[in-house]
Amino acid sequence: MTHDEEKLVAVANFRTRSEAETASGLLLGADIPYVIQSLEGAQLGPGPGGTTVLVRPQDEQQARQILQDAGALPDEGA
């Protein structure tokens, strides 16, 4: 992990990388840099919380709001 990656915070967890990439498109449209961290490939298939979207701490609140307003945040209780 690079020094810059250590400063990133998680804004959402998704079952699959594809779901995370779709949601991250909203962040891209708002010029919010992000990183997708995925466990896919490390196991036989997607699992709960297998992919995380990370952003800089200063972008966390705006990123969460964008994802929430778009209905792109996964149901945390599922």
Q: What pLDDT, on a 0 to 100 scale, did the predictor assign at position 26?
A: 95
- pLDDT tens digits, one per residue of 11-43: 999 988 999 999 999 999 999 999 999 876 555
pLDDT at res. 15 = 87
| Whether the predicted model's global pTM rises above the 0.75 cut | yes
**Backbone phi and psi for residue 24, each to the nearest 5 degrees, phi listed first:** -65, -20
Q: How far is CA 9 from CA 14, 17, 37, in A?
A: 15, 17, 11
Query: Does 25 fall in a domain?
Result: yes
- Structural domain span for residue 39: 5-60
pLDDT at 77: 45
Cβ count near 25 (within 10 Å): 12
Q: How many domains does the chain have?
A: 1
Between CA 6 and CA 3 the distance in angstroms is: 5
Question: What is the pLDDT confidence band of residue 68, given thresholds at 50, 70 and 90?
Answer: very high
Cβ neighbourhood burial of 13 (10 Å; 0-12, 13-18, 19+): middle
